[in-house]
Amino acid sequence: MNAPLNKVRSILDDIEHRYEWVPYLIISKSLSDYNHINNPRIEYSHFHAPWPASDRDFVYEIQLISTSDKQLVYKMKSVVSELMPINKQIIRAELLETIYTLTALDNATTKVEIIFHADPKGWIPDWIVNIIQSVLPYKILINLNARLKQ
């Protein structure tokens, strides 16, 4: 990405506006107090699913790990929490492992890597799940890059 690491981080940390660049995301919000010191924190995300599938939501813990001043790693994994009860109209999916790795290549360029592994639950066939898991990170990167240019 043609942006400094801190600018990429600010977009990833902007929970209320994630829906503007994450595909199919309707809402994302922090369920625990959010500041850069409160680490890890619990978040909620609700995704639209095209007909005939049902919407999916996730409750997950997100932790920011700083491996150095030139690299940040966000790790996300589903958790069970009373902070967001299950809505029977939405299928509670599971983030098995999602990792965003931001690496500053120089003062104006950041390498962004995404590992995305989720179980959408429900009746969706494995072959469709595999397509989603291979295409979604690519779309996220394209949209994140466009967001950085705004």
Host domain of residue 89 = 5-149
The pLDDT tens digits of the residues spanning 61-97 come to 999 888 788 999 999 999 999 999 999 999 999 999 9
Question: How many structural domains is the chain composed of?
Answer: 1
Q: Could you say which DSSP state residue 128 is in?
A: H
Please count the helices (runs of H) and the strands (runs of E) in the chain: 2, 7
Give the global pTM.
0.88
Measured CA distances, 104 to 46, 112, 141 (Å): 30, 9, 16
At 124, which CATH number? Answer: 3.30.530.20
Question: For the chain, how many residues are written?
Answer: 150
The pLDDT tens digits of the residues spanning 104-123 come to 999 999 999 999 889 999 88
Per-residue confidence band for 33, with pLDDT thresholds at 50, 70 and 90 = confident
Q: Is the peptide bond preceding residue 52 cis, with omega within 30 degrees of 0?
A: yes
Angle at CA 20, nearest 5°, toward 36 and 138?
90
